[in-house]
Structure 1
Amino acid sequence: MRLNAYIMLGDPAFLGPSVRSYYAMVDRIVVSYDENATSWTGTPLPIERCLEIMRELDTEGKCDYRPGHFGRSGFDPLANDTHQRSIALAQAGDGADWVLQLDTDEVVPRPDVFLSVLANADASAAWALDYPARWLYTRVSPGRFLEASTRSWRTACSYPGPLAVRAGTLLELARQTEFPKYRADVRPWNTDPAAPPHTVVHEVVPAEAAVLHYSWVRSSADIARKVGWSGHSEEWRTSGKYGQWLHSTRHPWSTALKTPFAPKWRQYRLSRVADFPDQGV
């Protein structure tokens, strides 16, 4: 099974740990970035810092740099996101059977388990692998985080889109596709609050093997920048999510204690997981 990957540069915070976690698994990594260092919303991106990190970690010459123009004015940020991903996926699919599409704040803690599940997906009729991710919300202290959970503080996984797809897969919105999927989860039933309860689970993996998504694990200044350049920037600006994050960061214990009474999109537990020093902008 020939496996490539693509990434989209823009966020340096966990770029190094993310790529290093799967670097040995892949043959080639398409490094997609805007040649004008412009985000999908038209704001500046720290592309040079990201390129420095990539050049430092690429010890085997696997990186294939593909600049382009992706911060297109007049387009919705998610449309620009999907546009860039689709181009990068097509480039990474050349010579590959499957393509990893992990974001640069996602870390694979158990590559052996991930590859085993991908092999099972490959043996099925699936075109895409839905693999569970643990969503880390904010750092409480080194190695300790508020993590998305169920109402009873159990692991709740998220699926922002398939983390691997067959070469030739078409994307509908960001990483999402309508092509048939093979789904793994940390329990025999669905643990994603955003998915229908009857969602089929084909394989169970240990919770410690789920991808770690350091989505909002940032300083206040970095979160403000991320809100500005993300494909979800408009949603985040109008929903009050930044204020909610700031409150939870300042009051993690009370946030976790309120979980049994909170709506499902604001349920968290305190967890100890691997930590990495921020690489900064």
Structure 2
Amino acid sequence: MDIRIKIGYLLSYDYQYIITSLKEVYEYADVIVISYDKNLKTWTGNSFELPEEIFVEIKLLDVNNKIQFYSDNFYIPNNPPLESETRQRNMLAKYLGTGGWHIQIDSDEYLYNFKKLAFFLHKNNYLLKNPSRTPITFRVKLIVLFKKTSEGFYVINPYNELCNLITNSPNYSKARSTFNQKVYTLDYYIIHQSWARDSLEIQQKIVNWGHVNDFDTNLFYENWNNLNSENYKTYLDFHPLPDCSWLKLDFIKAKNIHEFILSINNSLPQPALKIPISIFKRIKLYLKSFT
């Protein structure tokens, strides 16, 4: 039985955030694979750069030789970007191999106090014994950063946006959503740098996002660009996609992302984790994994 924690990254135009993300998970991960398109194409076919310096930084961080690189053709001409994303995630999962806990992280996602999540996964390693009998996905809560200033970050509140993150049966149907699995929401938070970038990065993100065809990108950029300390409280229920909700914005002081992570770790520490089902159902799940 493979009980390793396997982490897969999708590396693209926002490569500059991956070092911060890696530092949060490196100690407690067993295997880390960083995937990127070998022709340096996004899912929409736009070109991006991966400077040699980023590979040097990653290798310097990799003191225990946990990190591998996987490049392939992830861009398919005329393929909807969301389908290309899903395809890359499945190819990455296959590269990581069967068994173990699979966690797929975007470069701008920071799993602070990952130690608690790793402890929870190891505590529930019985779910890795026979994953075809107990296919399971754990989703977590996102702290979405919407805009950065020199004094801090505008943050989506409440932190109720969910993200499928972990599975024992990596078979992705749409982005990180999985086929025919029990999905449980953990009381664990990850910081998503998301829209807290400079203006040029935002424009690049919008045209390469998996949902680029699902909303008015020009209007979204205008709203983002016009946000300031005087009007941010008027941004109410403003998510560009109809099935999602950003209720309001808060402002959290922090000089940079590292200070923000420390601040959130103090104000919102990760709690002890457990599968959110009754003891009876947990016992039933445990017994099922051995049959």
TM-score of the pair, normalised by structure 1: 0.77
Which of 198, 209, 226 is matched with 1:247 structurally?
226
Q: Give the residue type in structure 1 aligned to 2:60.
A: E
Change (3 A) 1:113 1:46: same
Change (3 A) 1:91 1:148: same
Give the C-alpha shift of residue 239 in structure 1.
6.6
Q: Percent identity, aligned pairs only?
A: 22
Which of 205, 211, 225 is matched with 1:226 structurally?
205
1:89-104 matches, cutoff 5 A: 89-94=93-98, 96-104=99-107
Give the C-alpha shift of residue 126 in structure 1.
5.6
The equivalent of 2:174 in structure 1 is 173
Give the C-alpha shift of residue 122 in structure 1.
4.8
Give the C-alpha shift of residue 236 in structure 1.
5.0
Deviations 1:200-223 (A, max 9, x none): xxxxx5xxxx21110011100111
Give the C-alpha shift of residue 114 in structure 1.
1.8
Residues 30 and 64 in structure 1, CA contact (< 8 A), matched pair in contact too: yes
Structure number with greater CO (CA < 8 Å, separation at least 6) is 1
Paired positions, count: 241
Which of 8, 11, 18 is matched with 1:9 structurally?
11
CA distance in 1, matches of 2:170, 2:190: 22
1:157-196 matches, cutoff 5 A: 157-160=160-163, 162-166=164-168, 168-178=169-179, 179-185=181-187
Residues 121 and 128 in structure 1, CA contact (< 8 A), matched pair in contact too: no
Residues 102 and 170 in structure 2, CA contact (< 8 A), matched pair in contact too: no
Residues 128 and 180 in structure 1, CA contact (< 8 A), matched pair in contact too: yes
Determine whether 1:258 maps to 2:231: no
Residues 135 and 157 in structure 1, CA contact (< 8 A), matched pair in contact too: no
Residues 121 and 182 in structure 1, CA contact (< 8 A), matched pair in contact too: no
Change (3 A) 1:146 1:97: same
Deviations 1:135-154 (A, max 9, x none): 11111334x211111xxxxx
Determine whether 1:109 maps to 2:112: yes
Q: Give the residue type in structure 2 aligned to 1:38.
A: K
CA distance in 2, matches of 1:18, 1:157: 21
The equivalent of 1:140 in structure 2 is 149
**Larger-gyration structure (1/2):** 2
Residues 142 and 162 in structure 2, CA contact (< 8 A), matched pair in contact too: yes
Residues 38 and 45 in structure 1, CA contact (< 8 A), matched pair in contact too: yes
Determine whether 1:270 maps to 2:251: yes
Unaligned runs of 5+ in 1: 150-154, 186-204
Unaligned runs of 5+ in 2: 128-133, 239-244, 260-291
TM-score of the pair, normalised by structure 2: 0.75
CA distance in 2, matches of 1:134, 1:5: 20
